[in-house]
């Protein structure tokens, strides 16, 4: 059995250092259930004065990724680090690691610190959809989201699950936004990148079309493309984005 575990010592208060000192200790922790999927579970725990999210992985991923290649947990912590390098806000990474036996993934975990006074965009839309009609608020949030999305795409990176539930918004009148939960994102070569970029934009538009006006959606795309006026290429891209999930919803 080989084990890798890293704890961010400088940014972590002493009570959390003790709680998160090993992968064995982390897997023994209990907390509030947040989410579950076929390969992982997420719990929320309070240690000292802070809350933390612990995502426990029981498989390396789906299909062959369960046994070979980069595990989902490794991809997730690498992607958080990549966002930080790109100056894209994301939760603070506290600890992470994985265990393997004969080179095959056994389990892994990633711990992030809660960002206080935030809500994901999907829940915000359900609870306070009217705020989307606040022109100042909307344009500030949409501009940040468009800028960060353009930044990762122009770097060759695609998120692959860029849904409203994976974007946190803070509670200020001019809020910050944060990218979360990105275990599938990676850099793609130019031959396949365009399709994944279209999917990223389609994931954002999947809920937007039910909440936002056509004018607001077009304004977001103009910010993303960095064009004041839509080009023929932009119009072709928008068409592909809007029909991407047709027949699959």
DSSP string, 27-89: HH---EEEEEETTEEEEEEEETTEEEEEEEESSSSSGGGGTSSS-HHHHHHHHHHHHHHTT--
DSSP structural state of residue 6 = E
Q: What number is the average pLDDT over the span 29-35?
A: 96
Q: What number is the average pLDDT over the span 16-35?
A: 95
Per-residue tokens: 5: 């575990």
Q: What angle do CA 35, 39, 42 make, to 5 degrees?
A: 25
Q: Which of 49-58, 96-105, 194-203, 220-229 has the lowest mean pLDDT?
A: 96-105
Domains of the chain: 2-113 (3.30.200.20), 118-243 (1.10.510.10)
Q: What pLDDT is attached to residue 247?
A: 65
Q: What pLDDT is attached to residue 86?
A: 96
Q: What pLDDT is attached to residue 63?
A: 64
The 3 state secondary structure assigned to 117-152 is CEEEHHHHHHHCHHHHHCHHHHHHHHHHHHHHHHHH
- The predicted-structure confidence for 151-205, as pLDDT tens digits, reads as follows 999 999 999 999 999 999 999 989 999 999 999 999 999 889 999 999 999 999 9
- The predicted-structure confidence for 51-65, as pLDDT tens digits, reads as follows 999 999 998 777 666
């Amino acid at each position: 059995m080989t084990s890798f575990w890293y704890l961010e010592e400088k940014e972590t208060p002493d009570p959390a250092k003790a709680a998160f000192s090993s992968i064995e200790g982390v897997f023994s922790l209990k907390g509030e259930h947040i989410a579950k999927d076929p390969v992982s579970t997420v719990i929320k725990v309070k240690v000292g004065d802070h809350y933390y999210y612990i995502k426990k992985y029981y498989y390396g991923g789906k299909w062959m990724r369960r046994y070979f290649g980069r595990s989902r947990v490794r991809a997730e912590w690498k992607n958080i680090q990549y966002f930080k390098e790109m100056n894209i806000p994301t939760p603070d990474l506290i600890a992470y690691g994985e265990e393997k036996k004969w080179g095959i993934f056994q389990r892994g975990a990633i711990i992030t610190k809660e960002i206080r006074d935030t809500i994901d965009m999907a829940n915000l839309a359900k609870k306070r959809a009217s705020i989307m009609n606040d022109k100042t608020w909307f344009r500030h949030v949409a501009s940040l989201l468009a800028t960060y999305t353009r930044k990762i795409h122009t770097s060759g990176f695609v998120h692959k699950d860029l849904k409203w539930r994976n974007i946190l918004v803070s509670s200020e009148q001019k809020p910050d936004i944060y990218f979360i939960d990105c275990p599938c994102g990676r850099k793609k070569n130019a031959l396949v990148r365009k399709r994944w970029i279209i999917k990223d934009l389609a994931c954002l538009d999947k809920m937007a079309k039910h909440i936002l006006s056509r004018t607001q959606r077009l304004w977001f795309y103009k910010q993303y493309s960095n064009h004041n006026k839509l080009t023929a290429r932009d119009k072709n891209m928008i068409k592909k984005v809007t029909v991407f999930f047709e027949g699959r919803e």
